[in-house]
Amino acid sequence: MDHTRFFDKKSESLTLQQIVDITGAKPFTDVDLNVKISDISTLEKATSSEISFFSSGQYFEQFQKSQAGFCLVDEKSASKAPQGMTVLVHKNPYFAYSQIVNSFYKVKDIEFDGTKLIHGSAKIGEGTKIAPNAYVGKNVTIGKNCFIGPNASIMDNCVIGDNCIINANVVISFAVIGNNCGFLNGAKIGQDGFGFAHNAGVNHKILQLGIVEIGNDVEIGANSCVDRGAIENTIIRDGAKIDNLVQIAHNVIIGKGTVMAGCSAVAGSTKIGNYVQVGGGCSISGHISIGDGARIAGMSGVMRDIEPMQIMAGIPVQPIRDWHKINSKLVALIKKSDKNN
């Protein structure tokens, strides 16, 4: 993780013994409990000194290929770990992970600068206009020729490029934003992703360690929400245009030039390619992939991967030709039945 702009690392490293003490996990084989673990990471990115977790079959391939030195795993998967990985067995690896995150990291404290609305440490570029009651937090950097509207809140440590328009009542937090972006009234960027580990009847909040990265020429609509990532970042690439009341969950990637119409929602960790068109009111499930140039009709329910350039519709989503056929069939079916009655 390299999010020291937004998060404080509480411990340089933790020993395996400390991890065991914090989580109650048990080493699957005999190991030196004094070995030091430097950080947490994903199965894909973790190095030999880092710890990760494996809790969903969907990520079995990443688990088997992982270079992670240490991994929280449930009992039945322990024996399937790749060579060289020190396995820590826990009946709820996701919950154990949530405990370790809090031992490695914390969100930086927000510090107000007395009654000042623009923190003394903020850097504001030439030509940037800020409304009299906008709030700009500590260590914020805003580029040239931006507009920050009334009642907008730019929270600590955010970076905003040149020529950006942050309209009224927008909130920007935990975000690094490029040039020429527009945020319509009330858009909310960078809040916690919706991550909870359920354990013993309690939904434990998981510290969301990622941020939001937004490229150039992006527009985010009124009252739309972009959550920050859980471990990896939520990313919206150059030229993407997001309409009003759209929900972008943690770890989602939205490709270049992709357009999403109003009231659509993308669940966590889904990757949407470049120049995709998403109609209004669609729900897109988590942990799936939508290929470049795909087009999804309004009010579709996308519960599976979509290949590039496909045109899809329906709930559950299918090729639009098939969806039209099914609807015709159904109408024919009841007409026939009406005649028979």
Which residues are identified as catalytic?
A: 250
Tell whether residue 120 is a contact of a second copy (CB under 8 A).
no
* Least Å from the CB of residue 82 to a second copy: 32
Tell whether residue 92 is a contact of a second copy (CB under 8 A).
no
Contact track, a second copy, 13-52, x by CB under 8 A: ----------------------------------------
Cβ distance 260 to 254 under 8 Å?
yes
Contact set for a second copy, span 198-227 (CB under 8 A): 201-203, 205, 217, 219, 221-223, 225, 227
Of 152, 175, 272, 290, the one binding a second copy (CB under 8 A) is 152
Angle at 164 between CA 290 and CA 220, to 5 degrees: 35
* Least Å from the CB of residue 132 to a second copy: 5
Of 199, 216, 244, 310, the one binding a second copy (CB under 8 A) is 244
Cβ proximity to a second copy, 15 vs 139, nearer residue: 139
Cβ proximity to a second copy, 92 vs 285, nearer residue: 285
* Least Å from the CB of residue 32 to a second copy: 38
Structure tokens at 103: 């031992």
Answer whether the bond into residue 308 is a cis peptide, omega within 30°.
Answer: no
Tell whether residue 318 is a contact of a second copy (CB under 8 A).
yes
Of 118, 161, 174, the C-alpha closest to 5 is 174
CA distance 106 to 122: 22
Tell whether residue 171 is a contact of a second copy (CB under 8 A).
yes
Tell whether residue 129 is a contact of a second copy (CB under 8 A).
yes
Which sign does the torsion angle of CA 139, 142, 144, 146 carry? Answer: negative
Of 27, 69, 178, 239, the one binding a second copy (CB under 8 A) is 239
Dmax over Cα atoms in the chain, in whole Å? 80
* Least Å from the CB of residue 154 to a second copy: 9
Tell whether residue 229 is a contact of a second copy (CB under 8 A).
no
Tell whether residue 153 is a contact of a second copy (CB under 8 A).
yes
